[in-house]
Amino acid sequence: MTMFPANMPEMPPEMMGPVMDNPQGFADAMGSGMEAFSAAMEGGGGMEAAFEAFGDAAGPMMAEMGIPQDVFDAVGDMVGAAVGPAMMMGPADAGGGDMGAMMMDAVDMMMPEGMDMPPEVGGAMMDMGTAMGDAGVMPHDVAGEMMAPPGEPGYPMPCDAAGDPVMVPGDPGSVPITHMDGEPILQAPPADGAMADMGTMMPPPGGYDHPPMDGSMTMPEPMTYDLAIAPALGEEGFVGADPMADAMGGGNMVPPTPEALAADAMDAAMGSAMDGAMDQGGAPIPVIGDEGFKEADPVAAAEPGMDEPDPSAGMG
C-alpha cells in the first residue's frame, strides 16, 4: 500500500522517439542492464556499484538506439523521482513483483498525454523490479538510491523547516496530501494499473490520515527533464559533463566562478594593453606586486631624464 507524487515528470521526446521506434531494443537494453545489476549485487558490490554496472551495460545499447548517455541518465533520475516515493512509502518487505508493479505504473503515469506505454516497456519495468527482488534488494534501499537527496532540486516530497524529509519510510500517511493552497502532493496508483492487479499495493478504502501542510514545510523544485539533464549543483558550483571538454578528453569540468571570470577578463585586458604599449614604445603597463597595483605615470614617463624615444630618430 503506497502512493505516488502528484507532480510526475513527463518522459521527454528525446527518450520516447527512439523507444517507440524500437520498444524491443529498449527491453533488451534493460534486460542486459539488469543482468549486470544482479551480477554486481551477487559480487558484493552494493547498490551504488550495481546501478553503475546497470548503466555501463544498458547505456551503450541505448546509444545505439539513438538515446545519448546524458538523456538515458536524465530519464533515470526522472523515473527515480516518480517511483522512489512509492517505494519509500510502501512496505519495507515489498517483493520483486511489487517493485515491478510500482515501476510499471510509474512509467505509465510518466507517458506523454495521448501516448500509451508499449507492452515491451511495461514488461521491462516488471522484469527490473523482479530482478531487484531476486537480488535481495529492498524497496527502501532502492528508493534512497534512485531519488535526489532530501531538500535538493528534484526531491519529490516535502521537507520540514530543518530540511529533513517529512516522509516516514513505510507510512504513506506521514506525507501531506495537498499543499497549503490545496494543490495535490500525492496521488493514488492508477485504479486499472499493475499495482491494482497485484491486489496488495493500493491504498485502503478512504485513504490515509495525512497531516496538514504547514508553513514551515518546503517543497524542493520538482523534477523535470531540463533539471535532470542539467549539471548537478555541487559544493564548488555546477559540476557536469562538458561536451566540448569531453570531446577533448577533459572529462567533467567546473565552470569558473564570477570572481574567476572577472580576474580572467582583467588579465586579458592588461595583456592586450601591454602588447599595444610595447608595440608603440610606450610606458610599461601596470603590474600587480606585493603592494598591489604599481601604475606607470604617463606624465613622469615624458619628463626629462626618463627613457623616451629621440624625436629626431629616423629623420634625415
* Same-domain pairing of 270 and 126: no
Residue from 94, 218, 90 nearest 166 by CA: 218
Residues with Cβ within 8 Å of residue 272, at least 6 apart in sequence: none
Say if CB 78 and CB 11 are below 8 A apart: yes
Range of the domain at 263: 258-302
135-181 residue pLDDT tens: 889 999 999 999 999 989 999 999 999 999 999 999 999 999 999 88
* Same-domain pairing of 144 and 44: yes
| Residue written as grid cell 538506439 | 65
For 234, the grid coordinates are 555541487
Say if CB 208 and CB 225 are below 8 A apart: no
| Residue written as grid cell 506525507 | 175
Residue 182 has pLDDT above 70, yes or no: yes
Residue from 53, 40, 130 nearest 94 by CA: 130
Cα–Cα distance for residue pair 314/238, rounded to 1 Å: 57
* Same-domain pairing of 128 and 175: yes
37-72 residue pLDDT tens: 999 999 887 888 999 999 999 999 999 999 999 999
Report if residue 273 sits inside a domain. yes
For the chain, what's the residue count? 316
Cα–Cα distance for residue pair 75/14, rounded to 1 Å: 10
Report if residue 58 sits inside a domain. yes
Residue 258 has pLDDT above 50, yes or no: no
For 8, the grid coordinates are 510526475
* Same-domain pairing of 272 and 136: no
Report if residue 148 sits inside a domain. yes
Report if residue 309 sits inside a domain. no
